[in-house]
Structure formats: C-alpha cells, structure tokens
Amino acid sequence: MLLLAFLRPLIPFEPGVLCPLRAMTGVPCPMCGMTTSVTATTQFDLAGAFSANPAGIVAVVAALYLLVRRPRYVRVSLPAVLVALVAMWIFELNRYGII
C-alpha cells in the first residue's frame, strides 16, 4: 500500500481508483477517497488527505507502525472496526451532501 502510494504520483494521467458502488448508485462507500488520502499522506499533504478520507492518515500510521514494530500478533476489535466503518461512511455521505 505504501509503495503504491509513493509511486502513484509518478504515473502520468493516472485517473485513480473508481468506487464501483459510487459509479453504479451515486452513493459513496466508507472507503471512498482512501487511495487519494493515502497518496496525499505519503506526500505530507495532510489537509488533502483529511479532506479525501481521514481514515487514510490512520491507515498510513498503522502500516508504518506494523512495518517498524513487526508484532507477532495483531488483535483487532470487531466492534471498533464496525464503529470506524460507520463513522467513515457518515463522513463520506456528509461530504457528498447525501446526509
């Protein structure tokens, strides 16, 4: 993920990743903007990353932590993941003016 985010700005005329849900229904998914957000974070454009999807910043920080610390096991709380996904979706629906 991080390597692709660093290389993405070097690809000429790269249109980005299109969200299938948004393309078919006009409704963004919770992950809409993640590619842009992660790429912006790796370019130190935190304002751009936050406006695309704040979770991208968290994803980059988590990926760097896992690369540096290399824990044997990673425990993830399912309720925390579900709350994060709902929060991300509310953010996206608000950003696109749906709610």
Q: 52: exposed, middle or buried (C-beta count within 10 Å: 0-12, 13-18, 19+)? A: buried
If you average pLDDT over residues 5-13, what whole number do you get?
A: 70
Which structural domain range is residue 7 located in?
A: 2-95
| Percent with pLDDT over 90 in the chain | 59
> What are the backbone dihedrals phi and psi of residue 96, each rounded to the nearest 5 degrees, phi first?
-90, 5
What integer pLDDT is reported at residue 70 of this predicted model? 87
Q: What is the pLDDT of residues 63-86, one digit of tens each?
A: 999 999 988 888 999 999 999 999
What's the whole-number average pLDDT of the chain?
A: 88
> How many distinct structural domains can be found in the chain?
1
Q: 84: exposed, middle or buried (C-beta count within 10 Å: 0-12, 13-18, 19+)? A: middle
Residue recorded with tokens 């454009």: 45
Q: What is the pLDDT of residues 55-68, one digit of tens each?
A: 999 999 999 999 99
Who wins on pLDDT, 2 or 38?
Answer: 38
Distance CA 30, CA 58 (A): 14
